[in-house]
A and B are shown apart, each in its own frame.
Chain A
Amino acid sequence: MKSRCTTLFRTIFSRHDCTDAKQSAFFPNLERFTENWGGMRKGLLLVLSAGLFMTSAAAKTKRKSAPRASSRQHATNKSVPAKDAAAKKTDKSDKAEVPSRAVKSKAGLCKGDSTVECWNALAVNYAKQGRLEDARQAMEAAFRTDPRLNALRSNLEAVYASLAGNAYDSALGLKSGRKAVDLALLPAGTEPRRRVARETPAVVAAAVPLLKPKEEPKAALLPAVPDTFVKVAAVEPVAKVKPAAPRDSVVKPLVKRDTVRVAPAKVAKVVAIRDTTKAAIKADTVKVALAKAARQARRDSVAASKAKGKVKPEDPKEIRRQIGEMLDRWAVAWSGKNVEGYLELYSPAFLPSNGMDRQKWEAFRRERLLAPASIEVKMESLKVEPEEEGRQAVSFLQTYKTEAVKLRSRKRLVLERIGGNWMIVAEGEAK
């Protein structure tokens, strides 16, 4: 997530929060403002990513009910969430689009000064329960409470959309004439920060080192919100829902239940971490903590890259070890009748040897895994041999035992590596 826009966004905010000493009077407010934005944006992102795995109908709902990114007019008056939710209901045609009763009933709760916090807290709660649609609606309501937040989000989305357009242009060999993106200036708000918005990000960015010359860039950018971005960034690799649902091909990305559940939990964790540090905020300690965190992060990355350097993935022993591990997972998932865990070890390119189509085969395997009361799978005398294009063939003697049958057969699997994991592309009897 170190995209240019994130940096741009951070740059704008850093100007808000750290350049004017007089603003210290607003400090608690500003801090809340930006923290919420950071947390909410992160949360929305997670929910949106999780949305990838929703069914077609549910995802359609999202599109229809989400505020239009392309219309970047900013309401000058604060929209009342309750009214908004009610208005939404009128243009709903299918059942899935109606905001759940929970969101509506809570709508009355989030009023006044703490509206943004309130909506966000609601979202955190919903996300924790895996109620992603409710969480999304709560967060979007949060954005709508403040036209400035909404404008920022629209701008960011416009930049994202243009970046996506550029990505497609270059992938499809199309020349792009697009250079400029029109973003909206922030509408007049209640906080005395208007002048900042008129300056271009480049000017702001250039000004930052002058204002805080001695500190590390990261610290200079975010003194008032010390840990949000750092913590979020640290959590991100885990929390991000893997876009590449490994097993199903293009046709139908299935919901990866546990991954989706992890995401909201991480959001909650971020909030918890932030709350504890918030209590201890003093400018100096923050600086120290940040520098420390940065050093630690560097050490971690160095250690990680060193560790990576040591492992030679092409070493046959290492491959054998990886494959052994993978087969263990396969046997465990199979014996444990963990259908998802079992199917996820099959590559998207896997074709059932009997010519059955993939969906039917999956249904068939599901049935076969769930039917017996107990399954015992054992593998002996493993033999790994390289195949073409980096694939590996592994053959072994397999013992399969249920309450009804006991089968011993020599099996052969062809494996390919996808994103560092070995997956099955072919399965059959060994000759």
Chain B
Amino acid sequence: MKRHLALLALVPALLGADSALDIPQDVSPEAGLVRGISELREARPESALGHIDTVLKDKPTFHLARLVRGDLLMVRGGLLQKFGRSLPAAQVDPLRQEAKARVARYVDSAWKKGVPGYFLELPGEITSAVLVDIQRSRLFFYRREGNGWKLDGDWYTTSGRLTGEKTFEGDERTPIGAYQIQIPIPKAKLTDFYGSGAFPLDYPNTWDKLKGRKGHGIWIHGSPTNTYSRPPRASGGCVVMTNPDFEVLGKRLVPGKTPVVVADGAHWLEPAAFETSRKEFLGALEAWRKAWESRDADRYLACYGSAFRSGTGQNLSEWELQKRKVNAGKKWVTVKLSSLSAVVVPEAQQLIQVDFQQDYKSNNLENNMRKRQYWTREDGVWRIVYEGDAEKR
């Protein structure tokens, strides 16, 4: 009896130790690959080979699947002591990284927990958003659902060879930030290397330029014909997808509209926590608008952070001087904001990129313009660190 109890006590320990895969049931090559690897892990190489062969029949240039197949053929002879036994060592590691990234998607549950913590507010006509996590080598596609976001597809991606802050052209890093999809470049204008096409991102954006980051030509693009997919860290900074995945995604992206957040280790929030942070920020923005309308210069200027820069290059004291001067001549002011977009930028500091249409009216001036702001938390309070005209695109 005692023995039985001891055994029972072991059960949770064993369960806890096992990384159970959430086996995908769809027909994608990745799902087949993961099913194959799962069967291999469960010591069923014959069944694994069946899955892998199916994948390869569909995608003969899926190099990782080829490697797994080679390994599987070695199992019966007792020759498989390590991953990638069937290839020269130099070629194995990138593929091992790919396998790791692809399989981790079916173990990692962070992304299942809730809504991505980035898209606080987007104009009503924008119904989708993209989150690229270069740490997970994954692109997540979200659709609007109420005030939150619902996952509607995710795909393996390749990013820059190096990680860290992108600072100059050719540093082989994928920029981290909040971007927008630009006008796509059709396949016909590209070489085979870019596969099914390319969607440029607006890197470097206002914030990048403020930070002095250089470089250009950061695209989301497809893969060359000689390979179904590329290792996780293999591009010069672009986000690369397999052609079939790119084609599915491409149909859903809206140039000039779909926001793309690129993070290195993305975070997801419980819907309630997301709603709290969303409301907190929108409250701060509304306080700024009201302060402006109140013509109380101190209240208005308290919304700006010490490191503030305006779009025309003014620092906080220059900005203050100008605003106080202008404010003196106002009898009344109304400010209306519309088409509001507030997207969290995955920087080390807490940062939110805000765009809106600003309808300003006062006794002596009327002005309707598109504006961009960056807000950061200073002493626990959201404050503006940048304000200027939205860039023409």
Of the listed stretches A32-40, A171-179, A289-297, name the one at the interface; the rest are far from the partner chain.
A171-179
Is A418's CB under 8 angstroms from B90's CB? yes
| Closest A residue to B15 using CB positions | A177
Is B53's CB under 8 angstroms from A60's CB? yes
Which listed residue, A60, A172, A349, touches B96 by the CB 8 Å rule? A172
**Does residue A77 face the partner (Cβ distance < 8 Å to B)?**
no
> What A residues does B88 contact at CB under 8 A?
244, 246, 348, 418-419
**Does residue A251 face the partner (Cβ distance < 8 Å to B)?**
yes
**Does residue B82 face the partner (Cβ distance < 8 Å to A)?**
yes
Give the CA-CA distance A251 to B18 in the complex, in Å. Answer: 33
Q: Nearest Cβ distance between residue A416 and chain B, in whole angstroms?
A: 8
Is A161's CB under 8 angstroms from B86's CB? no
Q: Chain B interface secondary structure, helix, strand, loop or mixed?
A: helix
Of the listed stretches A49-57, A200-208, A315-323, A374-382, name the one at the interface; the rest are far from the partner chain.
A49-57
Q: Nearest Cβ distance between residue B253 and chain A, in whole angstroms?
A: 30
Q: What is the number of contacts between chain A and chain B, taking CB atoms within 8 Å?
A: 153
> What B residues does A177 contact at CB under 8 A?
14-15, 17-18
Q: A181-B43, A251-B61 are in contact. Are A243 and B85 (CB under 8 A)?
A: yes
Is B107's CB under 8 angstroms from A174's CB? yes
Of the listed stretches B65-73, B155-163, B168-176, B197-205, name the one at the interface; the rest are far from the partner chain.
B65-73
Q: A51-B73, A60-B53, A250-B67 are in contact. Are A172 and B100 (CB under 8 A)?
A: yes
Write the B285-309 contact mask toward A (1 if CB under 8 angstroms, else 0): 0000000000000000000000000
Give the CA-CA distance A418 to B91 in the complex, in Å. Answer: 10
Is B43's CB under 8 angstroms from A158's CB? yes
Is A63's CB under 8 angstroms from B49's CB? yes
> What A residues does B384 contact at CB under 8 A?
none
**Does residue A167 face the partner (Cβ distance < 8 Å to B)?**
yes
Is B77's CB under 8 angstroms from A45's CB? yes
**Does residue B351 face the partner (Cβ distance < 8 Å to A)?**
no
> What A residues does B53 contact at CB under 8 A?
56, 60, 63
Q: Nearest Cβ distance between residue A361 and chain B, in whole angstroms?
A: 12
Within 8 A of A (CB), among B106-161: 107
**Does residue B363 face the partner (Cβ distance < 8 Å to A)?**
no
> What B residues does A243 contact at CB under 8 A?
70, 74, 79, 85-87
Which listed residue, A5, A48, A171, touches B76 by the CB 8 Å rule? A48
Is A171's CB under 8 angstroms from B78's CB? no
| Closest A residue to B81 using CB positions | A167
Give the CA-CA distance A69 to B42 in the complex, in Å. Answer: 13
Is B79's CB under 8 angstroms from A169's CB? no
Give the CA-CA distance A68 to B76 in the complex, in Å. Answer: 11
> What B residues does A3 contact at CB under 8 A?
78, 81
Q: Nearest Cβ distance between residue A25 and chain B, in whole angstroms?
A: 33
> What A residues does B41 contact at CB under 8 A?
165, 168-169, 174, 176, 178
**Does residue B232 face the partner (Cβ distance < 8 Å to A)?**
no
Q: Nearest Cβ distance between residue A84 and chain B, in whole angstroms?
A: 18
| Closest A residue to B71 using CB positions | A164
Give the CA-CA distance A249 to B81 in the complex, in Å. Answer: 21
Give the CA-CA distance A68 to B87 in the complex, in Å. Answer: 26
**Does residue A44 face the partner (Cβ distance < 8 Å to B)?**
yes
**Does residue A399 face the partner (Cβ distance < 8 Å to B)?**
no
| Closest A residue to B47 using CB positions | A70
Which listed residue, A63, A66, A163, A178, touches B80 by the CB 8 Å rule? A163
Known: A168-B71, A250-B66. 18 other contacts (CB 8 A): A5-B78, A49-B74, A49-B79, A52-B74, A160-B76, A161-B44, A164-B72, A169-B41, A172-B96, A172-B104, A173-B100, A176-B18, A176-B41, A177-B17, A178-B41, A418-B88, A418-B90, A419-B89
Chain A: residues with CB nearer than 8 A to chain B?
A: 1, 3, 5-6, 44-45, 48-49, 51-52, 56, 59-60, 63, 66, 68-70, 156-158, 160-165, 167-179, 181, 243-244, 246, 249-251, 253, 348-349, 357-358, 418-419
Would you mind naming 9 contact pairs between A and B with Cβ atoms under 8 Å apart?
A: A3-B81, A45-B79, A69-B45, A163-B78, A171-B84, A172-B83, A172-B100, A177-B17, A251-B63
